[in-house]
Structure 1
Amino acid sequence: MPRKFSEFKDTLWYATAPQAPDTAPLQGEVKADVCIVGAGYSGLTTALELARQGVSVVLLEREEIGFGGSGRNAGHCTPTFTHYSLPELRKVLGAPWAERLIQRQTRANDKVGAMIARYDIDCEWEQNGYVQGALFPSHLKTLQGHMAAYNAVGARTRMLDRDEVRAVTGSSRFYGGWFHEEAGGLNALAYSRGLGRAVIAEGGRIFTGSGVTGCTRENRAWVVRTPQGSVRAEKVIYTTGAYTVAGWPKLDQSFRIMRVFVAATQPLSQASQAVVLPRRTTIQDGRGDIYVYKYNRENRIVASMFPMGARGQDPAFTRQVLSDRLRWLHPDLREDLRWEFFWYGELDMQRRTVPRLYGLAPGVVAMTGLSGRGVPTGSMIGGILSDWAMGVAEKDLDLKLEPLSRQPLYMSIAPQMALRGYRLRDNLRARRQGAPLPPHA
């Protein structure tokens, strides 16, 4: 049975993004050097990289451009890793793969900004930095470790003391924070649609409403089939992530789905903007069970959390949690909050959630594992996938090619259990150090 994904048209981005470029379903057979499946950030940037080099590219999408995580995410663009520190990543990936991926990821926002400028993408791009706060004193040591590790590879980050973090974020709750000045934010769907227009401008072909039903080898070419047509190509790249439906056997078993929710308030008054993120940074409150928020162009607060118990299931209670947490972080906020948009997205979780490059067959690869840093990671991954398509030797790629693997059943509950563990850990640390707990902690 096909997976049922959360409603796409509920998102703030769907209500505010510029119109999508004109596309249509694939009819009949077409030929290309490379066929890409999935029109999210990864597929779009791969297509763009290849089209700019004169490669004939066809991009197939079951729904519409940005339908998956690339149109639903909260719009944060922070060029870091979420699940591993840099020393941990080096242990997980080993040499030379870790250093190559670190370099790509930490410079991803350079690429995002350059593409937005080059193709004049109207997507609310603001590069005002990211703050991870410390809600108890001992967290500062961890953040100092992040600062040292990221600065050592060329990132521009620094620590904020208590007065500085209040000036930047408007919150008096933090003992300090880690500030990444290269981070930014955007309208997630507007960016996707802008990349789509760029692909078409460079000569790439995009067919929407064209879900892939199969891919077979015929006469030294791959034939990728859709309900009303097919693409005959030398190479095929799957970039469907958590929104994978059929297309290749067992690809949808290489991850487990985890949901996240995002909500947006009404446009806030100037008085509220003066006490909540006065410098329009993105902020993560520093807890393992995260609360992260930023402004959009209309001065709405866009916040996201993971579902846990009634949070994320009961709409009224969830809105209350979001409001209570924001007011606790910003006690000077006096305006009544109305969460006018509320939506869900799906993440492709794995036991080792970093970008993964799977060799499916000679001339066919798939990529998954962007969860949590989709904007910068999806934007930089196109360079790696296009390198593969252009024939760069496997040993010289910036991701290691590995066989497709099935995720264990426990991954269906492991991410939720980890969140609960993070919450318990942070609560215990805060109590031991005399730090107040946020509401609903």
Structure 2
Amino acid sequence: MQHSTTAYRAQPHAPSYYAASANPAPERPPLQGAVSADVCVIGAGYTGLSAALHLAEAGFKVVVLEANKVGWGASGRNGGQIVHSYSRDVDVIEAKYGLDTARALGSMIFEGADILRSRVRDYGIQCDLKNGGVYAAMSGKKAEQLQHHQELWQRWGHPGLQYMEGEAARRIVNSERYSAVLVDPTGGHFHPLNLALGEAAALESRGGVIYESSQVTRIEQLASPIVHTEQGQVTAKFLVVAGNAYLGNLIPALAAKSMPCGTQVIATEPLGALADELIPSDYCVEDNNFLLDYFRLSADKCLIYGGGVIYGARDPAHVERIVRPKLLKTFPQLKNVKIDYGWTGNFLLTLSRLPQFGRLNHNIYYSQGCSGHGITMTHLAGRLLSEAIRGQADRFDAFAKLPHLPFPGGRLFRVPATALGAWYYQMRDSLGI
């Protein structure tokens, strides 16, 4: 596994609401010289931090290498919403891969949220965590899909979803755009960058070491992997690759089976009392379109609104121009509101829309490709990676056995082909089917 060794300069956080309101964090120097560890983790996002913290709690000596800063990628830029399951739900998994696979994966669909909440509770992480999430429908057909969602999750041991229409739905999210909502009291929302920073501090409290500004340049697959950066190297018994959409071409075999995609988010100025009129429940909201919108209120009553996908992860020139029309369709009364922040970030898409777990050899593990459904999945992934390294790989292998399909036509055609498919589903969304 080779990578060009051109000089690398660490980048600051995206110009987001989250970066502007982040809790204080220490400066973590880059790796210099040679160090050793039981486990080396590439990437200080949720997947890497979750795996590292689980392992450190189990007594492993863990080193994390981060090219930029803790939570620099999707983990510090996302919508901050706790949404259960995977980007393809259990009914799709059962139809494609059979009942045994559905049972194995279905037994874990609510676990990631429990892990996240336990981290916040056990380590006293200040990240504005609030309970309650909403799925919203824009048509009668989409409302039927919400009812199917409710029945499906009830069958898989999650009976608490509440379906509402009309005025009852307006008391949850006050928008004429939605004909029905499905309320999940066990959903929730939080400040995503502060969660990552808190998990990093938790790892360090357990003896873990994080090196920022330490891009990995190459990996030697020896009996004990050696991970090289520009200024140092880590020799470890195990390696966890958790770079996701920001791994680049460090490991071509992983890059060939995934595609970075960009999503856009804006944050309004603080809305004061108006915020409570828009979302009286103070729950987070996402619609159930294929190309969905998602939004919530921050702790200081800014509306954080995201939506849209840029296939191939090209940074759009004007985030506000892309997202503001979506916001105004939902809340037209905000036509004169000021947008304080606009930013973009990448998530990693797989052809199946299911996460990819696996081994590059007996002691190099990876997890990637949550396909836009990563907050709870990454926390679960960290636990499964930890279990596999500790010799309990059954649950890890339930995911690793799924086929990891390359995009048709290879890297050249994966962007236009995927965008064409998205266009088809966008047309279906616009017709309410």
Fold match, TM over 0.5?
A: yes
Q: Which residue of 2 aligns with 1:388?
A: 388
Taking structure 1 as the reference length, the TM-score comes to: 0.88
Please give the alpha-carbon distance, in whole angstroms, between the structure 1 residues aligned to 2:304 and 2:35: 41
Q: Does 1:184 align with 2:188?
A: yes
SS at match of 1:385: helix
SS at match of 1:274: helix
Check 1:71–1:252 CA distance in 2 against 1; reply closer, same or farther (3 A cut): same
1:360-379 matches, within 5 Å, as 360-379=360-379
Check 1:191–1:93 CA distance in 2 against 1; reply closer, same or farther (3 A cut): farther
The answer (yes or no) to whether the contact 1:171–1:275 under 8 Å persists in 2 is: no
Check 1:32–1:147 CA distance in 2 against 1; reply closer, same or farther (3 A cut): same
Check 1:321–1:51 CA distance in 2 against 1; reply closer, same or farther (3 A cut): closer
State the identity %: 24
- Summarize deviations over 1:100-148 as a string: whole Å, max 9, x none: 3333232321111111011111111111x22222211122221111111
Candidates 83, 104, 107, aligned match of 1:103: 107
Q: Does 1:168 align with 2:169?
A: no
Please give the alpha-carbon distance, in whole angstroms, between the structure 2 residues aligned to 1:426 and 1:122: 37
Candidates 304, 307, 316, aligned match of 2:306: 304
Q: Which residue of 2 aligns with 1:418?
A: 421
Candidates 116, 121, 124, aligned match of 1:120: 124
The answer (yes or no) to whether the contact 1:280–1:294 under 8 Å persists in 2 is: yes
Candidates 144, 147, 150, aligned match of 2:150: 147
The answer (yes or no) to whether the contact 2:10–2:213 under 8 Å persists in 1 is: no
Q: CA deviation at 1:394?
A: 5.4
Q: How many residues of Structure 1 are paired with residues of Structure 2 in the alignment?
A: 422
The answer (yes or no) to whether the contact 2:308–2:322 under 8 Å persists in 1 is: no
- Please provide the CA RMSD for this pair: 2.7
Please give the alpha-carbon distance, in whole angstroms, between the structure 2 residues aligned to 1:176 and 1:203: 48
1:21-420 matches, within 5 Å, as 21-82=26-87, 84-127=88-131, 129-155=132-158, 156-218=160-222, 220-270=223-273, 272-307=274-309, 313=316, 315=318, 319=320, 322-330=323-331, 333=333, 336-393=336-393, 397-401=397-401, 406-408=406-408, 409=410, 410-420=413-423
Q: Which is worse superposed, 30-39 or 252-261?
A: 252-261
The answer (yes or no) to whether the contact 1:245–1:252 under 8 Å persists in 2 is: yes
Unpaired segments ≥5 residues, structure 2 = none
Check 1:313–1:64 CA distance in 2 against 1; reply closer, same or farther (3 A cut): closer
Q: Which is worse superposed, 15-24 or 403-412?
A: 403-412
Q: Which residue of 2 aligns with 1:15?
A: 20
Taking structure 2 as the reference length, the TM-score comes to: 0.90
Unpaired segments ≥5 residues, structure 1 = 431-441
Check 1:373–1:6 CA distance in 2 against 1; reply closer, same or farther (3 A cut): farther
The answer (yes or no) to whether the contact 2:275–2:302 under 8 Å persists in 1 is: no
Q: Which is worse superposed, 88-97 or 204-213?
A: 88-97
Check 1:340–1:273 CA distance in 2 against 1; reply closer, same or farther (3 A cut): same
Check 1:90–1:345 CA distance in 2 against 1; reply closer, same or farther (3 A cut): same
Counterpart AA for 2:425:
Y
Q: CA deviation at 1:314?
A: 5.8
The answer (yes or no) to whether the contact 2:248–2:255 under 8 Å persists in 1 is: yes
Please give the alpha-carbon distance, in whole angstroms, between the structure 1 residues aligned to 2:11 and 2:418: 19
The answer (yes or no) to whether the contact 1:6–1:345 under 8 Å persists in 2 is: no
Please give the alpha-carbon distance, in whole angstroms, between the structure 1 residues aligned to 2:119 and 2:36: 27
Q: CA deviation at 1:321?
A: 6.0
Counterpart AA for 1:374:
G
- Summarize deviations over 1:226-267 as a string: whole Å, max 9, x none: 111111111111000000035434433331121111111000
Counterpart AA for 1:50:
L
Check 1:307–1:248 CA distance in 2 against 1; reply closer, same or farther (3 A cut): closer
